[in-house]
């Protein structure tokens, strides 16, 4: 990334722009900066808010001992030259608001955010976090005109991390020894895969009975709602920000991480022209490979059911956007 002597970013190699400075966006800004991964631009529509958060985070720099620059802005011009753009902008569902209304509003917000951000950073990779995840990731890709491998949705890492946590809690083992895998859309129809979820290499199907596994799967499916119910005034943001940060790091450090992300499918799993959660290798070029697992009939049909619901919502959102 080129930088002029007057640039607010004189030296850092990478720039990450986060669109939406709410709970997830601001926590992600903190994670990216404190891990010294990149300079951060935090953009929101609310005037003063991203500037205030950026200043607050900057004032912690000396204590946290990192060198990342952080600026808050309401102007997309400040995001120019980003290596990665992460979209977390959106509104939560308000009392009395239908799912359709929410879909329409967030679809429009994400579509415009992707268009404006990529216009200023045509070489960036795009990560979408806003809900409904798989649907708005598709719209962001369309708005951005990027090659589909450069666009990804974050959900599978979070859903898998929740499943991993519940498995570790149930067995009383270290989370570090648990690997879990959840595919499919980010919603009620997500597809946790116990056969591919292991503790120290042993599939959980050999460590727990079917009823226990089903209970943990249900809790995973309900993971976001469980937190909303407890907090009452908002949703989860620490684990979502950590999960998005993992993707940012995989890209900036070209780590080739093998993780589930919402990726564009072109025939894999019998699915085409859709973004949905599947295992991928993620590196500096984005989704470098989609891994096709040998799913059982039940697993494959669960993935197809999830894909069908995503596809319907994409059509609905496209129609709603078109009618605007």
47: CB partners within 8 A, 6+ apart:
74
Establish whether 186 is a catalytic residue.
yes
Is 25 a binder of ligand TXD (CB under 6 A)? yes
Question: What residue number has its CB nearest to ligand TXD?
Answer: 22
- The answer to whether 183 and 134 have CB atoms below 8 angstroms apart is no
Sign of the dihedral defined by the CA atoms of residues 15, 234, 180, 289, in that order: negative
- Shorter beta-carbon distance to ligand TXD: residue 86 or 178: 86
Residues 272/298, Cβ–Cβ less than 8 Å: no
As a whole number of angstroms, the distance between CA 22 and CA 89 comes to 8
Of the chain, the end-to-end C-alpha distance in Å amounts to 37
Choose between 109 and 280: whose C-beta lies nearer to ligand TXD.
109
Q: Which one from 12, 14, 66, 186 is the annotated catalytic residue?
A: 186
- Contact between 97 and ligand TXD by CB under 6 A: the answer reads no
Nearer to ligand TXD, 4 or 98 (CB): 98
Residue 234 interacts with ligand TXD (CB under 6 A)?
Answer: yes
Q: Report phi then psi at 59, rounded to 5.
A: -70, -10
- Tokens (6 digits) for 30: 């903190």
Q: Write the binding mask 144 to 173 for ligand TXD: x where contact by CB under 6 A, - elsewhere.
A: ----------xx--x---------------
| Nearest alpha-carbon partner for 182 in 279, 54, 99, 95 | 279
- Examine residue 126 and tell whether it contacts ligand TXD (CB under 6 A): no
- State the minimum distance, in angstroms, from the CB of residue 166 to ligand TXD: 16
17 CB neighbour count, 10 Å cutoff = 28
User: Of residues 142, 212, 219, 235, which one binds ligand TXD by CB under 6 A?
Assistant: 235
Catalytically active residues are 186
Residues that bind ligand TXD (CB under 6 A): 19-25, 44-46, 88-92, 106, 109, 113, 129-131, 133, 154-155, 158, 186, 234-237, 240
């Amino acid at each position: 990334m080129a930088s002029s002597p007057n640039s607010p970013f004189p030296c850092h190699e990478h720039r990450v722009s986060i669109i939406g400075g709410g709970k997830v966006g601001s926590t992600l800004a903190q994670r990216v900066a404190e891990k010294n991964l990149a300079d951060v631009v935090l953009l929101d529509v609310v005037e003063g808010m991203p500037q205030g958060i950026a200043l607050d985070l900057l004032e912690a720099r000396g204590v946290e001992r990192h060198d990342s620059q952080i600026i808050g802005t309401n102007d997309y011009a400040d995001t120019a030259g980003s290596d990665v753009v992460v979209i977390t902008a959106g509104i939560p569902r308000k009392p009395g608001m239908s799912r359709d209304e929410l879909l329409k509003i967030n679809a429009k917000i994400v579509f415009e955010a992707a268009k404006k951000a990529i216009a200023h950073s045509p070489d960036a990779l795009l990560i979408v976090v806003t809900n409904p995840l798989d649907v708005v990731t598709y719209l962001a890709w369309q708005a951005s005109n990027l090659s589909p491998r450069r666009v990804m949705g974050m959900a599978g890492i979070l859903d898998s991390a929740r499943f991993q946590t519940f498995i570790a809690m149930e067995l009383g083992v270290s989370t570090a020894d648990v690997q879990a895998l959840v595919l499919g859309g980010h919603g009620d129809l997500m597809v946790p895969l116990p056969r591919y979820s292991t503790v120290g290499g042993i599939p959980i199907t050999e460590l727990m009975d079917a009823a226990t596994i089903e209970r943990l799967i249900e809790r995973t499916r309900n993971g976001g709602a469980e937190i909303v119910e407890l907090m009452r005034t908002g949703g989860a943001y620490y684990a979502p920000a950590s999960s998005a940060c993992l993707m940012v790091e995989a890209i900036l450090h070209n780590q080739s991480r093998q993780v589930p992300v919402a990726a564009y499918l072109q025939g894999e799993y019998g699915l085409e022209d859709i973004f949905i959660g599947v295992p991928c290798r993620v590196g500096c070029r984005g989704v470098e490979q989609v891994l096709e697992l040998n799913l059982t009939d039940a697993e494959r049909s669960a993935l197809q059911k999830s894909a069908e619901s995503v596809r319907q919502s994409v059509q609905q959102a496209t129609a709603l956007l078109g009618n605007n």
